[in-house]
Amino acid sequence: MFESSLKTALAGDSTLTGLLSTYGSPARPSIFSDQAPEKAKTPYIVFTISKYNTDAIAVDRFNVYIDFWDYGYSRADARAAAFEMEALLDQQNLTHARFNTIRLYRFSAGFIENVDDPRDIHYNLQLTARADRKGWMETL
C-alpha cells in the first residue's frame, strides 16, 4: 500500500517528531506501521492502513488509523501531537510509486480514555484515503 509515503509525511514534520521518542540505530522518530516494537519507548505513533473498496477500476480506497501513545508523561504534549497530526494530514496529498495521487481526509479524531489505567494516553486519528492507480489501463 502506501505505508512508506505516510511515514515520510509524519517523520518530515519537525514539530511532531519533536514530541516523539526515538528508536533504532541510527535513532529515528518512533513512528511504526501496524505495531510498535516491544522495546519502543513512549511517546510513539502507530499507524495502520486497510483497503476497503476495490470496486473502482482506477481508484483504491483506504481507511487510515493513526494512534499516538504515551504513558503518564504529558497530556499537553499529546494534544499538541494530535493537533499537529490532524493539521498535517487532513486533505493532504501523498505520492507513491504505485499511485498518481493519494488524498487523505479526516473523518474522526479524539482521545481514548483507559478507565483501567488513567496514566495511559491514547489519541486516535482516523482518515479515509483515495488513491488513483498508475497504469490501471494496462491491467484491463
Q: Domains, the chain, ranges and CATH? A: 3-139 (3.30.2000.40)
At 19, phi and psi to the nearest 5?
-100, 0
CA distance 51 to 64: 9
CA distance 88 to 130: 17
Least confident of 19-23, 51-55, 60-64: 51-55
pLDDT in tens, 83-137: 999 999 998 899 888 888 899 999 999 999 888 888 899 999 999 998 888 876 4
pLDDT at position 114 is 85
pLDDT in tens, 25-48: 889 999 999 999 999 999 999 999
The model's pTM: 0.88
Higher pLDDT: 62 or 53? It is 62
pLDDT at position 108 is 93
